[in-house]
Amino acid sequence: MTKTAEDFIANAEVKAFDLRHRSIINYNIGKYDAAVARGITQLANLENAKRKAHVIKWKVMENLDKLLPEFEANFQRRGGKVIWANDAEEATKEILNIIQKSGAKTVVKSKSMVTEEIHLNEFLAENNIESLETDLGEYIVQLLGQKPYHIVTPAMHLSKEDIAKLFNERFGTPIDATPEQLTLKARELLRAKYVHADIGITGANFLIADSGSIAITENEGNARLCTTFPKIHIAIVGIEKMIPSLTDLDLFWPLLSTHGTGQNLTVYNSILSGPRQSNETDGPEEMYVILLDNGRTNLLAQKDQRQALYCIRCGACLNACPVYKNIGGHTYETTYSGPIGSIITPHMKGMEEFKHLSYASSLCGKCSEVCPVKIDLHKMLLLNRRDAVKSDLSPIKEKWGWAIWKRGMLSRKLTDYFNGKTKNFFLKFLFKNTWGHLREMPEVAQKSFSQQWQEKNEEE
């Protein structure tokens, strides 16, 4: 077992028994569930909308080799620059080149999971470049020196009292400050940063092929400030975020907002098609889009599992997952947590180190049920497990255990050879540390069903 898997098991146990943590996350997810239940009522035929989105994303993945060059050509036509990055190292190197070439010293960032994926903040800090998160949730976890806890709501694991205490220690605000007061303080601190920042860095929710645009969805307006005040705008986007046409946004925007936050539509939806044009009054002088692979083509090559790339990062599967609700986002030790993270991470970062995530599931199917693009998530988890076994990545103890179990199950004579007392002894001996220390072990009957059936029929 790898250290990553060992850490996951140990941390999951700690978090599962942390009642305060579970109380906070379940309260926040409960509010989300209520909002989503209201939000999805705006869709006259939700199932049809999800099916249509699934088909569009299927077409995208089947034609990604054509849509990406189409996007590039249309974006460059308006003066934008496209950079292709195979991995995180290439992406960060290209960003550093842009920063050094322009002589920039400060960067403002809007919320982006892709920048978390390539560890951009840490990279910039190593190169003496100040990088400030401007999304309130991201800003809070950055102050704490933590990673985002959730794809959509980075500070979901914190109560308003936790945040009030943090702001009191850092900025001297009242210890009993309200969420509104804390938000105003953050706005006061961040406003000057936008004006003086040299470069704005964002992700994008969608790449639009036919117009050569990126679409950004947000609720705070910070992304708009990051993309208009600085002279240079860099957008880092995974290649799977492609949609064919601008008109597809009338489907994907409502699906993203209803399943992400329960809103009919998020507050700010921006479409950016390049740097400031001669007839425009605001916007950056230069705009770059970095198209990031970083393992995505590995997943694209898996015909059975490539539908995991349909994900629009709404976070619905995390909020539905009983495992996530108990162990939280940080336990996964990956950029993308929950069911979708458990599926894509082994393909993006290595099956051997992260195969354990595909077993961190009850296979209840709730994640597949709530997905707005109908990804068969629980099936993908099973396929990852299959791939791990086929790749001979199972520990030797596990292999021997299943071999013995299979032999016993295929032979009635062997199954009935040991009585219930012996079977119970072996159950407790083999699983007392891995399973039995948290729950009562099942008691095997003294005689098997087959033996009881024979005795009953003999009596008659």
Do strands 242-243 and 206-208 pair parallel, antiparallel, or not at all (unpaired)?
parallel
Per the CB < 8 A criterion, the answer to whether 385 and 343 are in contact is no
Output DSSP code: residue 108: E
Among residues 49, 67, 69, 70, the alpha carbon closest in space to that of 59 is found at 67
Per the CB < 8 A criterion, the answer to whether 134 and 194 are in contact is yes
**Residue entry with tokens 């077409």:** 59
Identify the segments of the chain with pLDDT beneath 50: none
Sign of CA dihedral 358, 363, 364, 365: positive
Among residues 238, 243, 193, 235, the alpha carbon closest in space to that of 216 is found at 235
| Full 3-state SS string of 28-96 | HHHHHHHHHHHHHHHCCCHHHHHHHHHHHHHHHHHCHHHHHHHHHHHHHHCCCEEEEECCHHHHHHHHH
Spatial distance between the Cα atoms of 54 and 48, rounded to a whole number of angstroms? 10
Distances (CA, A) of 136 to 117, 307, 327, 329: 19, 32, 24, 18
Q: What is the pLDDT of residue 432?
A: 78
Q: What is the pLDDT of residue 47?
A: 96
Domains and CATH numbers, the chain: 1-42+310-394 (no CATH), 64-149+181-294 (3.40.50.10420), 396-459 (no CATH)
Q: How far apart are the first and last CA of the chain?
A: 53
Q: What is the pLDDT of residue 1?
A: 63
Per the CB < 8 A criterion, the answer to whether 313 and 335 are in contact is no
Spatial distance between the Cα atoms of 76 and 87, rounded to a whole number of angstroms? 22
Q: What is the pLDDT of residue 458?
A: 80
**236 CB contacts (<8 Å, ≥6 apart)?**
91, 95, 112, 114, 115, 118, 120, 201, 202, 203, 290, 292
Among residues 370, 382, 314, 307, the alpha carbon closest in space to that of 342 is found at 382
The values of phi and psi at residue 109, to 5°, are -120, 140
pTM of the predicted model as reported, rounded to 2 decimal places: 0.91
Q: What is the pLDDT of residue 447?
A: 84
**245 CB contacts (<8 Å, ≥6 apart)?**
208, 209, 210, 211
Among residues 326, 337, 358, 333, the alpha carbon closest in space to that of 438 is found at 326
Spatial distance between the Cα atoms of 262 and 422, rounded to a whole number of angstroms? 54
CA dihedral 343, 349, 350, 356 (to 10 degrees): -50
Q: What does the angle CA 113 – CA 298 – CA 321 come to, to the nearest 5 degrees?
A: 50
Q: What is the pLDDT of residue 192?
A: 85
Among residues 155, 140, 142, 272, the alpha carbon closest in space to that of 207 is found at 272
The values of phi and psi at residue 94, to 5°, are -65, -40
